[in-house]
Amino acid sequence: MAELTAFHAPVAKAEKAKVARTSNRRRRAIVLAVVLGAILVAALVAGLTMPPEFYASDFSQKQQAPSAAHWFGTDFLGHDMFCFSVRGLALSIVIGLFASAVSGFVALVLGSVSAVCGGWVDKVVLWLADLLMSIPHMVMLLLISFSVGGGTFGVVLAVALTHWPSLTRVIRAEVLRIRTGEFVAASRAVGKSDLWIAWHHVVPNVLPQFIVGTILLFPHAILHESALTFLGFGLPLDSPAIGAILSSSMKYLATGAWWLALFPGLMMVAIVLLTFTLGDEIKQLTDPHTVQE
């Protein structure tokens, strides 16, 4: 063989690709889920089983700034704001869970029915969704809550009835996309029944979207419940919901009692942010396109 030039000469070995340590999204999601779950369970258990003396009024202790004895300070009636906030949070969480579960269920049913039936059913569902989305959220919440006489039932109903449209649209679009997808056409061509396709093709593709959507509804529900209560159209002001606490705290902000609104507000913000982040992480992890990023 001719020309064996430099063939067996050692070749400068290029440096191997350095492995950048990228953050582990799966670990982050699990940590988030555990932290959030722990907070929710702790708040629920503590808030719902708290003995009354923990949040009884004590006029000798009123209007105190945060201290070792009263972490979040006390209000004008001498309530311990920490215990008060935890109870409020528990109530908000219960309402949020309930409202988001109802909304999610409504969205699942309406979204799938509208995608599967098509025709006038689809038109009606979309029309309803558009109608609800075109009216400002707050106005709808107020109207619904007010029309059934307010209270806990009013709030849950209002939040549940106003939060389904966006998720309904997502589910409808997803079901439609899958039903008309090439892999479903191929499945049908090899003789699979509609039921088989629904179970094996549609459910595994829609379920992650549904779960993520419902998780993301939860913080919305909490925020809207608080907002409604804050405005005085939700839970009665003597119930210890976060919205009610914030509403009554407003009156004392001018007197310098900043802690009354700050801590309960932060607690709510923390829960909302954690839930949003977790929902986003789960969304990325369940989407085949972003699962590896």
CA 155/CA 141 separation, integer angstroms: 8
Any contact of residue 9 with another protein (CB under 8 A)? yes
Q: Which is nearer to another protein, 41 or 291 (CB)?
A: 291
Chain centre distance of CA 111? 19
Please provide the DSSP assignment of 106-118 as one string. HHHHHHHHHHHH-
Q: With binding defined as CB under 8 A, does residue 68 bind another protein?
A: no
Residue 12 CB, shortest distance to another protein, in Å, is 8
Which of 94, 206 has the CB closer to another protein?
206
Classify each residue of 255-273 as buried b or exposed e, where b means 16 or more C-beta atoms within 10 Å of its C-beta. eebebbbbbbbebbeebbe
Rounded to a whole number of angstroms, the distance between the first and last alpha carbons of the chain is 49
Extract the tokens encoding 8: 């067996």
State the nearest-atom distance from the C-beta of 204 to another protein, in Å: 5
Q: Least distance to another protein from the beta carbon of 64, Å?
A: 46
The letter for the amino acid at 204 is P
Burial class (CB in 10 A: 0-12, 13-18, 19+), 204: exposed
Report the site for another protein in 158-217 (rule: CB under 8 A).
181-183, 185-192, 200-201, 204-205
Shortest Å, Cβ 30 to another protein? 8
Comparing CA positions, the residue from 83, 88, 59, 51 lying closest to residue 69 is 83
Lay out the site mask for another protein across 231-270 (x = CB under 8 A, - = otherwise): ----------------------------------------
Q: Is the Cβ of residue 25 or residue 137 nearer to another protein in the bound state?
A: 25
At closest approach, how far in Å is the CB of 162 from another protein? 30
Q: Could you tell me if 128 and 74 are in contact, meaning their C-beta atoms sit under 8 angstroms apart?
A: no
Q: Does 27 bind another protein (CB under 8 A)?
A: yes
- Contact positions toward another protein, by CB under 8 A? 1-11, 14-20, 22, 24-27, 30, 181-183, 185-192, 200-201, 204-205, 288-289, 291-293
